[in-house]
Chain A
Amino acid sequence: MSDLFANLPLLSFSDGGWGWNLLRGLLSTLQIALGAYALGLCIGLFGALGKINGSSLTRWLLEIYTTLIRAVPELVLILLLYYAGTGLINQVLDMMGYRPIDISGLVAGIAVLGVVQGAYATEVIRGAMLAVPLGQVEAAAAFGMSRWQVLRRITLPAMLPLALPGLSNLWLIVVKDTALLSVVGFSELAMVTLQAGGQSRAYLMFFLAAGALYLCVALVSNQVFRLLEKRARRGQPELV
């Protein structure tokens, strides 16, 4: 324990301290998480629409996508999508006569985690959309709204309170999943922490500090999602 406190200066923001490095790691963790979450929501929205309204081929393809992604461990998926994705892009570029490019860690991380998130988001949003009473959608159509207007004015606002608990879970999952990207060598919080621990041998303290940072993110986002849910539920009876 005494050894733990003797190492405390290592966390400082001055010379020889790892404070700024950890915060920079946290920043790139948040960047990747935000980007992947946004991408996942887009995929999820269209995936849910496709699963509900699409042709049987679309539904079948989406079913394979969500089932496979949800049955394979994230760590394996990240490796597969990362190598397959960068390999594929460079092969296409090569065929078109361009030189292969180096895909930045940030973009690759966002793409990989976004595709994984998309599968989970599809299921969450689909469930919430199915729970919107059909009568409301039909009433809107009877008023002469186009399908896009029905989606924007009725379906999306009505499903939001039902989807938010699931979506808040997904956000917490994507923040934690960014740590897995360290295995492919992205320099986010987990990676920086491992490097800091390796150089200073103060593993225990650095991992406690990193854990505290992740926990802060989780606690703050819990509050944000609580406010969002309150706003999405405005006018509805309180939940018990």
Chain B
Amino acid sequence: MQWYWLAEYLPKFISGVYVTLQLLGLSIFFGMLLAIPIGLVQVTGPRWLAIPARMFCTVIRGTPLLIQLYLLYYGLGTLFPLIPEIRETFLWPLLRDAFPYAVLAFSLSVAGYEGEVMRGAFKGVPKGELEAARAFGMSRFTVLRRIWLPRAIQNVLPTLAGEFVLTLKSTPLAGVITIFDVYGVGSMVRQETYRIYEPLLLIAGIYILLTGVIVLLFRWLEGRVPRPV
């Protein structure tokens, strides 16, 4: 075990942690934004929305994330330069960078997995509560905002904690498409120093720490939310 390289690369690892957290935060935010309607339409929506939503979940959950990431990064990434008009727009610098593709791939993945979780969560809220809210004269959207969504999330908070740990553990795939997250920095160190194990052990340690932080965060959150009866 030799750790002489650590002092030199420590700042890079810190910025790597920052990139990983950014990836994680953005994909959970956008992913959940998609997952809530995807879960909802499967429970109450019309069939022409419910069926595509279910198909989306099946496809996302049935194919490896690495393939989805490659499909977006290499597949879409090689299509855009074929359209010359895009080069003029503000989108161009964004489309040449790998980061947006990773956020898009992870967000879709979160949407697929958590859409399935939210479907169960929406289904699990007792009908009587929703009917009571309607009887009080709330509009359907108000029922969703005040009763249905909070009750659904309350029920699946522990599940979501586990799911977000899985999301964290899939973020190193971003390192494969040239993003310098924790894993990407680690690979760079391995190539530059020819040390095989030590950078990998450091990466593993960082991910264990981050996992611990997520678990503690959700434990705190669960403590603040009143327990489902």
Contacts and interface: CB of A to CB of B under 8 A. Distances in A.
Contacts of A80: 197, 200-201, 204
Contacts of A84: 197
A197 B82 CA distance: 17
Contacts of A229: none
Contacts of A155: none
B151 to A, nearest CB: 21
Interface in A84-117: 84, 87
A183 B62 CA distance: 20
A181 B63 CA distance: 15
19 contacts: A73-B172, A73-B183, A75-B172, A76-B207, A79-B200, A80-B200, A80-B201, A175-B64, A190-B67, A193-B70, A203-B70, A204-B71, A207-B71, A207-B74, A208-B71, A208-B75, A211-B59, A211-B63, A211-B71
Interface of B: 58-59, 61-68, 70-71, 74-79, 82, 165, 168-173, 175-176, 183, 186, 196-197, 200-201, 203-204, 207-208, 211-212
B142 to A, nearest CB: 31
B200 A176 contact: no
Question: What 8 A-B pairs have minimum CB-CB distances, sorted nearest first?
Answer: A218-B62, A204-B75, A179-B64, A203-B74, A207-B71, A176-B64, A73-B169, A215-B62
Interface residues of A, number: 38
B205 to A, nearest CB: 9
Nearest to A207: B71
A142 interface: no
Given A75-B173, A76-B200, A179-B66, A215 B74 contact: no
A75 B183 contact: yes
Contacts of B170: 73
Contacts of B59: 211, 215
Contacts of A180: 64, 66, 173
Nearest to B78: A203
A214 B169 CA distance: 21
A219 interface: yes
Contact of A207 (B58, B70, B82, B171): B70
Contacts of B207: 71-73, 76
B170 to A, nearest CB: 7
Contacts of B71: 203-204, 207-208, 211
B208 A193 contact: no
Given A73-B207, A75-B183, A179-B66, 5 more contacts: A72-B169, A75-B173, A180-B173, A211-B68, A218-B62
Contacts of A79: 200
Contacts of B211: 71
Contacts of A83: 196-197, 200
Nearest to A219: B62
A214 B67 CA distance: 9
Given A84-B197, A193-B67, A204 B76 contact: yes
B64 A190 contact: yes
B67 A211 contact: yes
Nearest to A221: B62
A182 interface: yes
Interface in A188-240: 190, 193-194, 197, 201, 203-204, 207-208, 210-211, 214-215, 218-219
Contacts of A76: 172, 183, 186, 200, 203-204, 207
A172 interface: yes
Contacts of B76: 204
Contacts of A175: 64
A181 B150 CA distance: 40
Contacts of B78: 201, 203-204
A72 B168 CA distance: 10
Contacts of A75: 172-173, 175-176, 183
A176 B63 contact: yes
A136 to B, nearest CB: 29
Interface in A162-189: 172, 175-180, 182-183
A63 interface: no
